[in-house]
């Protein structure tokens, strides 16, 4: 092979290689991002928002569940309530999959129904080797499309949404579950009584009205 032909072949290979690299970059899927979950209840245009960051396998979250449920019902016409995800996987092995099931239920408009089922069944599914069988049953009970649920659980968007909530609670200084915020400000050491939450909300509503 003469020198000229060698350099021509080398040039063709180089162009082909860099063209392939360029094509791969153009067609690579974009990184999946999310602004976080949007699981809301109550008066959506209220000047007062109570947000709870939950770990579905957390005993303290389980203990707060009936209190928060009572307060939500009492103030649903005056306050916006929101639940975000705070799974602490290093101590609760099923917290992340529970969050993924809840967020996937949200994609079918049934977040709150799944949220309630998961908390009410916590002491059962957390003992299982594979809690998904219980989550599947909850999905059936509340009328979800199981095939869509399974696909949404695996969807990178679901992971990105949970991660975005984790980033948010970290920025807010949340270091344990549940973490509550009132209008974006962390509530320090909240008391687990309906009366204590009622006072917080009444004060916030009165302040908003005066302003």
DSSP string, 13-82: HHHHHHHHHHHHHHHSPPPP------EEEE-TT-S-EEEEEE-TT-HHHHHHHHHHHHHHHHHTTT-EEE
Spatial separation of the C-alpha atoms in residues 15 and 20, rounded to whole Å:
9
For 77, phi then psi, to 5°, come to -90, 0
What's the average model confidence in pLDDT over 8-30?
40
Rounded to 5 degrees, what angle do the CA atoms 107, 113, 115 make? 85
User: In the structure encoding, which two tokens stand for residue 50, read together?
Assistant: 């109570």
Residue 24 confidence (pLDDT) above 60: no
Q: Residue 85 belongs to what H/E stretch?
A: strand 80-85
What's the average model confidence in pLDDT over 165-190?
97
pLDDT at 9: 46
What's the average model confidence in pLDDT over 72-92?
97
Spatial separation of the C-alpha atoms in residues 183 and 13, rounded to whole Å:
60
Query: Is the CA virtual torsion 36, 41, 83, 181 positive or negative?
Result: positive
Residue 106 confidence (pLDDT) above 60: yes
User: In the structure encoding, which two tokens stand for residue 207, read together?
Assistant: 């302040």
- pLDDT category at 10 given cuts 50, 70, 90 is very low
Residue 75 confidence (pLDDT) above 60: yes
pLDDT at 16: 37
83 in Cβ contact with 65 (< 8 Å): no
pLDDT at 97: 98
Q: Give the burial class of 162: count Cβ atoms within 10 A of its Cβ; 0-12 exposed, 13-18 middle, 19 or more buried.
A: buried
100 vs 211, higher pLDDT:
100
pLDDT at 4: 53
User: In the structure encoding, which two tokens stand for residue 119, read together?
Assistant: 């908390």
pLDDT at 47: 98
- pLDDT category at 32 given cuts 50, 70, 90 is confident
What's the average model confidence in pLDDT over 182-195?
97
pLDDT at 210: 93
Taking the model in full, what pTM does it have? 0.84
């Amino acid at each position: 092979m003469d020198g000229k032909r060698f350099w021509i072949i080398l040039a063709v290979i180089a162009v082909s290689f860099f063209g392939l690299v360029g094509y791969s970059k153009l067609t690579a899927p974009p990184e999946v991002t999310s602004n976080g979950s949007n699981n809301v209840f109550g008066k959506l245009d209220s000047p007062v928002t109570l947000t709870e960051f939950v770990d579905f396998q957390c005993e303290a979250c389980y203990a707060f569940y009936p209190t928060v449920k009572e307060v939500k019902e009492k103030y649903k016409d005056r306050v916006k309530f929101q639940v975000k995800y705070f799974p602490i996987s290093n101590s609760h092995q099923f917290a992340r999959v529970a969050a993924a099931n809840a967020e996937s239920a949200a994609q079918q408009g049934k977040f709150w129904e799944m949220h309630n089922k998961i908390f009410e069944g916590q002491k059962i599914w957390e003992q299982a080797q594979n809690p998904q069988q219980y989550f599947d049953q909850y999905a059936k009970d509340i009328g979800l499309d199981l095939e869509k649920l399974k696909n949404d659980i695996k969807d990178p968007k679901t992971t990105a949404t949970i991660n975005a909530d984790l980033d948010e609670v970290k920025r807010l200084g949340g270091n344990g579950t549940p973490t509550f915020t009132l209008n974006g400000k962390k509530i320090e050491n909240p008391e687990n009584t309906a009366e204590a939450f009622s006072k917080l909300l009444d004060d916030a509503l009165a302040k908003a009205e005066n302003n």
